Amino acid sequence: MRAIDIHTHLELNLPGVPPNRFRKKPPRLFMHFNELLKFRSIIWKNGNYPELVRMLISLDNQVRLSMASRDNLLREMDSSGVSVSVTMPIEPYVKSKDYLNEIADEPRLLTFASAHPDDKYWQNNLKEAMNSGCRGVKIHPILQELHPENEFYFQLLEEFRQYGRPVLTHSGEFEYFIPQSRYREYGGVFLMKKLISSFPDVPFILGHMGLYDAEGALKLAAGHENVYLETSFQSAATIKRALNTVGKDRVVFGSDWPESRQHVSFKIARMATRTQPHLQEKILWENAESLIGPVQWESIS
């Protein structure tokens, strides 16, 4: 079985727990527990935790991010059986160029580009990144500290639309840092609406399908043909509901590795489509490939 994981990360260098190339496994904390339950528990879906639990989740998340090396990703892919992972840089923390260097000579890894207004040469750098083979652009309003209606994202998409490639945006309110930051609410699903409707020719992939607000993501996707839903952190039942709502062409498999284990997300995506092999092929491969362009399967298998 061939599969593209549309949403993974390499080192992000966020403030907090530093990268640790020796770490091979994520901690057995709250996320591990949710993975065992395949994101079915009400506690997980609710997303409204007491502050102490919330802090532990942010810490858990940071420790996971610290193990996002290329070697660990390839090892994870070997054990999960995923053929190709698409990696997501987030500027200003890491540059598109850094990810292009990391994936060089590895046909199993592809990358998106990223851009941030702190880089005054962002237009040129974006052009160079896209011409060097990036398959789309990642935006992350929370971590980039830019409201989804910030003028910059409109300028970015004005530059980017010519490539005919997708945007993958984080979606869903989430706190990345142990002391609370001010930007959690920038993940709100409906804040993306203006950007999405201003660029109907650009496909938008909603990372995590809204996270704790899958209902909102499904609603947004139902109203906009250019919205796609990525499966990470969602249960098989929610993925099925997404397929019923938006049809077979607009759901794509993603794990957000290392923030969730790839083999867990992969298993959930297969469970959701178990009885329909054609549908499985759509969400594991075809839908992603139709967005990011041809993927050389022969050279990989």
Whether residue 188 contacts residue 212, with contact meaning beta carbons closer than 8 Å, is answered with no
Q: What is the dihedral of CA 266, 271, 274, 278, to 10 degrees?
A: -40
Q: Please report how close the Cβ of residue 277 comes to Zn ion at its closest, in angstroms.
A: 29
Q: Which is nearer to Zn ion, 88 or 196 (CB)?
A: 88
Q: Please report how close the Cβ of residue 50 comes to Zn ion at its closest, in angstroms.
A: 25
Q: Which is nearer to Zn ion, 102 or 280 (CB)?
A: 102
End-to-end CA distance of the chain: 10
Q: Please report how close the Cβ of residue 232 comes to Zn ion at its closest, in angstroms.
A: 8
The residue count of the chain comes to 301
- Binding segment for Zn ion (CB under 5 A), chosen from 13-21, 41-49, 86-94, 208-216, is 86-94
Minimal CB distance to Zn ion: which residue? 88
Q: Which is nearer to Zn ion, 88 or 156 (CB)?
A: 88
* Number of Cβ atoms within 10 Å of the Cβ of 53: 12
Residue whose tokens read 């490539």: 163
Q: Please report how close the Cβ of residue 45 comes to Zn ion at its closest, in angstroms.
A: 20
Tokens linked to 30: 């709250």
Q: Please report how close the Cβ of residue 170 comes to Zn ion at its closest, in angstroms.
A: 5
Q: Which is nearer to Zn ion, 189 or 280 (CB)?
A: 189
Which DSSP symbol is given to 218? H
Give the ranges where 66-135 is alpha helix by DSSP (H). 70-80, 96-103, 122-131
Quick one: how far is CA 2 from the chain centroid?
A: 19
Whether residue 292 contacts residue 166, with contact meaning beta carbons closer than 8 Å, is answered with yes
Q: Which is nearer to Zn ion, 88 or 239 (CB)?
A: 88
- Binding segment for Zn ion (CB under 5 A), chosen from 22-30, 55-63, 84-92, 95-103, is 84-92
Whether residue 74 contacts residue 87, with contact meaning beta carbons closer than 8 Å, is answered with no
Q: Please report how close the Cβ of residue 197 comes to Zn ion at its closest, in angstroms.
A: 23
Q: Which is nearer to Zn ion, 88 or 206 (CB)?
A: 88
How many binding residues for Zn ion (CB under 5 A)? Answer: 1
Residues lying near Zn ion in the complex (CB under 5 A) are found at 88
